[in-house]
Amino acid sequence: MVNGEADRADGAPPDVSPTDSPRVPLRTVRPLGDLTTGRTRAARPKRRVKTEKPVPYTQHTDPVPGVTPSGELARHHAINYDLNPQRTPWVVEVLAAATPGLHFLTHRYDRTWWRGDAIAGLAVAAYLIPQVMAYSAIVGVPPVYGLYTALVALVIYALMGSSRVLSVGPESTIALLAGAAIAPLVGPDADPGRVIAMSAALSLLVAGWLLLARMFRLGVLADLLSQPLLVGYLAGAAILMVVGQLGKLTGTDVAGHSIIEQMRSFLTHLAATHPMTFYVAAATTGFIFLIHWVRPRWPAALIAVTCATIASAWLNLSDQGVRVVGEVPNGLPLPGLPLLSAGEWQSLALPALGVALLAYSDNMLAARGFPSPEIEGERPSERAVDPQVELVALGGVHAGVGLFGGFPVSSSGSRTALALSSRAHSQVYSLVAAGCVVLVLLVAGPLMSQLPQAALGAVVLYAATKLIKVGEVRRMWRFRRREVLLAGVTLVGTVWLGLLVGIGVAIAISLLEMAQRLARPKDAVLGRVPGLAGMHDTADYPDAETLPGLVIYRYEAPLFFANVGDLLRRAQRVVDKEFASYPQAPPRWFILNVEANTEVDITACDGLKDLYADLAAQGVRLGLVRLRQDLYVPLRKAGVVQLIGEDMLFPTLPVVEEAYVAWALAHPLPSQPAPEA
């Protein structure tokens, strides 16, 4: 009797043999039976029988997980299903998502990394302290505010950043950009307090733009600057940095906002160069380059600045007309909002957008160039830097910097490379460097008062040389000379128009280049290659073959208003060449391979209709192959599918060839006899 047709008289399940019973999952065996007695619920006895023995089950020929060799179902321990979980407050979830660095330090930090992180922190601090003091001069604020900015940035990014090794703090290009944004608003003889308030307000506005970009998930903005444009922009920034420090290097008063005004002012006062100031600047610059050449791993800037400070105090250079830093306040800064008028905030809003864009782009480029060290058992994706998280982290850094009177920051490739070479594993090295900055602020103020400003100008000059990527220019020249031309145009635009306008020029050139590539993309006619599977570009294989009367054409770009006209022209040129080359076997089907056409607009749909009409006037049928659903829907809404016909839509290239062969056999040319099948 077949299993399941009837029950036995005693209420037990019918006998089942392995031959007449279909295999079913264990969870479906005896769905209504009692697992402890083997009886159905209808015939269950009143007295419940307790047993500890495993329940026998139907034998299976194949081994089943959880079933013993004797056919018995083995039990396992029950788990805690957490049926009433306690939800974490949303505030805690937001804070946890905003502080991935803190989560890593508290949950995954390995204490064996401490020695390497501590050494790396000391090395970075030795390099950072004179560097950030020099960058503060670019912005126009006292040197101590460079230390304030570095301290806040190091601590906040260590808690909020997604990179374990990126060194975030004052950076030369961003400092120059901030100074260029503030200078026209404060004038040449501005009060230092007003400049401090303007730089802090600029930082807060940068934070606002970054957090707004995170709300709209605009991390893609980091990709707007291509490598050639970035090389040209950094080279232009280096020239502007050097010109901006000419007054400190020569002891003259160089005025003007643009590079032309500054160069004219410098040449006018060149005869008034202070000899001792020039000697200090030249000696410090030469000493930095010498140390970097002989001992690249030594903190060249710190050693040179320390020697210049000692020489200044010993020789009383300030009495000889050499300008020094002067009094440096001891102690730590206190938070507060900058007191500015509504008009001043509004005037800084647009420059803050440019600073935010470049700071974030620089940060992401450095994060990609310096990946975190590998941890055993860690997936590569866990080391990747999240662009959206970095928007929040950099926004938080600028918010903190602005509250403590600092200026905009970004990541430093040189400091990050120094940390990695010193065996840093985590942001603990940044916390160690921040501790060194605190010690300097607490005890080293009087020692820095004799630091010559010419020495800080020499540090800026050294940093500017690092922005000129000669190796990248050579690489681009070997790859494609047009890349070098784009870099040169960006360089001239940055130097001639300034940093803020230079960013717009660089982005505009990048977008125009992208539009040009999309408007005039590569195309191909596909054919078969003997001995090679698939269909390939006939231009790449001279021995490629095509079917008579069939043209399979691929246009490798999204279709939109800027390139649909180019598509029509190129398609007609292909058809004309096919007519001229094979007058006895003219083109009859023109199949457009749309696998690379990921987008389409209404203008492109109208252009496809025009292509259909032009081909139909020549006796050629238009078809589409590799048409995906996300492209089929807009083409159907625009009426293109109805015009072409569903029968001329094909999923793959082999299907096209089979359909064409069958159609050509059924529709021979009038001047030719019908071919045999």
Average pLDDT rounded to a whole number, residues 106-128: 89
Task: Give the integer Cα–Cα distance in Å for 325 and 455.
Answer: 10
Task: Specify the pLDDT at position 60.
Answer: 47
Neighbouring-strand partners of residue 535 = 528
Task: Give the integer Cα–Cα distance in Å for 666 and 677.
Answer: 9
| Secondary structure of 469-505 in HEC code, one letter for each residue | CHHHHHHHHHHCHHHHHHHHHHHHHHHHHCHHHHHHH
Contact assessment for residue 465 and residue 293, using Cβ atoms and an 8 Å cutoff: no
376-425 residue pLDDT tens:
777 776 777 888 899 999 999 999 999 999 999 999 887 888 788 778 99
Of the pLDDT bands very low, low, confident and very high (cuts 50, 70, 90), residue 635 is very high
561-587 residue pLDDT tens:
999 999 999 999 999 999 999 999 999
Task: Give the integer Cα–Cα distance in Å for 421 and 123.
Answer: 10
Beta carbons within 8 Å of 241's beta carbon, 6+ residues apart: 138, 172, 176, 460, 461, 463, 464, 467
Average pLDDT rounded to a whole number, residues 244-270: 85
Of the pLDDT bands very low, low, confident and very high (cuts 50, 70, 90), residue 57 is very low
**527: enclosing H helix or E strand:** strand 523-529
Coarse DSSP helix, strand, coil percentages of the chain, rounded to the nearest 5 percent = 60, 5, 35
Which amino acid would we find at residue 345? W
Q: Which residue has the higher pLDDT, 277 or 227?
A: 277
Task: Specify the pLDDT at position 423.
Answer: 83
Task: Specify the pLDDT at position 18.
Answer: 43
**CB half-sphere exposure, 469, CA atoms < 13 A:** 19
Task: Give the integer Cα–Cα distance in Å for 429 and 91.
Answer: 29
**In this structure, what is the dihedral angle of CA atoms 583, 585, 591, 592, given to the nearest 10 degrees?**
-30
For the cut 60, the answer to whether the pLDDT of residue 433 exceeds it is yes
Average pLDDT rounded to a whole number, residues 254-260: 78
Of the pLDDT bands very low, low, confident and very high (cuts 50, 70, 90), residue 590 is very high
Average pLDDT rounded to a whole number, residues 59-70: 60
Average pLDDT rounded to a whole number, residues 272-282: 93
Segment 595-599 long-range contacts (CB within 8 Å, at least 24 positions apart): 595/554, 595/625, 595/626, 595/628, 596/554, 596/555, 596/556, 596/557, 597/555, 597/557, 597/558, 597/559, 597/631, 598/558, 598/631, 599/558, 599/559, 599/560
Task: Specify the pLDDT at position 66.
Answer: 61
Average pLDDT rounded to a whole number, residues 547-571: 94
Task: Give the integer Cα–Cα distance in Å for 675 and 667.
Answer: 10
Task: Specify the pLDDT at position 223.
Answer: 65
Contact assessment for residue 155 and residue 434, using Cβ atoms and an 8 Å cutoff: yes
Task: Specify the pLDDT at position 477.
Answer: 92
Contact assessment for residue 396 and residue 160, using Cβ atoms and an 8 Å cutoff: yes
Q: Phi and psi at residue 534, in whole multiples of 5°?
A: 85, -175
For the cut 50, the answer to whether the pLDDT of residue 16 exceeds it is no
Task: Give the integer Cα–Cα distance in Å for 554 and 571.
Answer: 10
Of the pLDDT bands very low, low, confident and very high (cuts 50, 70, 90), residue 62 is low
Q: Is beta strand 649-650 parallel, antiparallel or unpaired with respect to 621-625?
A: parallel
Q: Is 391 exposed, middle or buried (0-12, 13-18, 19+ CB in 10 A)?
A: buried
Per DSSP, the residues of 265-317 read: HHHHTGGG--HHHHHHHHHHHHHHHHHHHH-TTS-HHHHHHHHHHHHHHHHTG
Residue of 457, 456, 362 whose CA lies nearest to 413: 362
Please state at what angle helix 342-369 crosses helix 413-421, rounded to 10 degrees.
40
Task: Give the integer Cα–Cα distance in Å for 550 and 515.
Answer: 31
Structure tokens given for 543: 């021995």
For the cut 50, the answer to whether the pLDDT of residue 2 exceeds it is no
- Taking phi over 0 as left and psi of -120 to 50 as alpha, with beta for the rest, 544 belongs to beta
Of the pLDDT bands very low, low, confident and very high (cuts 50, 70, 90), residue 248 is confident
Beta carbons within 8 Å of 242's beta carbon, 6+ residues apart: 460, 461, 464
Q: Enumerate the domain spans of the chain.
A: 1-74, 115-374+385-512, 522-666
CATH 3.30.750.24 given to domain 522-666:
yes
Beta carbons within 8 Å of 662's beta carbon, 6+ residues apart: none
Task: Specify the pLDDT at position 67.
Answer: 66
Mean pLDDT over the full length of the chain: 84
For the cut 60, the answer to whether the pLDDT of residue 27 exceeds it is no
Task: Specify the pLDDT at position 225.
Answer: 67
Residue of 158, 169, 89 whose CA lies nearest to 411: 169
**Range of 70-84, 212-226, 420-434 with top mean pLDDT:** 420-434
Of the pLDDT bands very low, low, confident and very high (cuts 50, 70, 90), residue 184 is confident
303-346 residue pLDDT tens:
888 899 899 999 999 889 898 887 777 788 889 999 899 999 99
Task: Give the integer Cα–Cα distance in Å for 145 and 135.
Answer: 10
**In this structure, what is the dihedral angle of CA atoms 18, 23, 26, 28, given to the nearest 10 degrees?**
-110
Structure tokens given for 545: 């073959």
For the cut 80, the answer to whether the pLDDT of residue 14 exceeds it is no
Residue of 253, 250, 217, 206 whose CA lies nearest to 358: 206
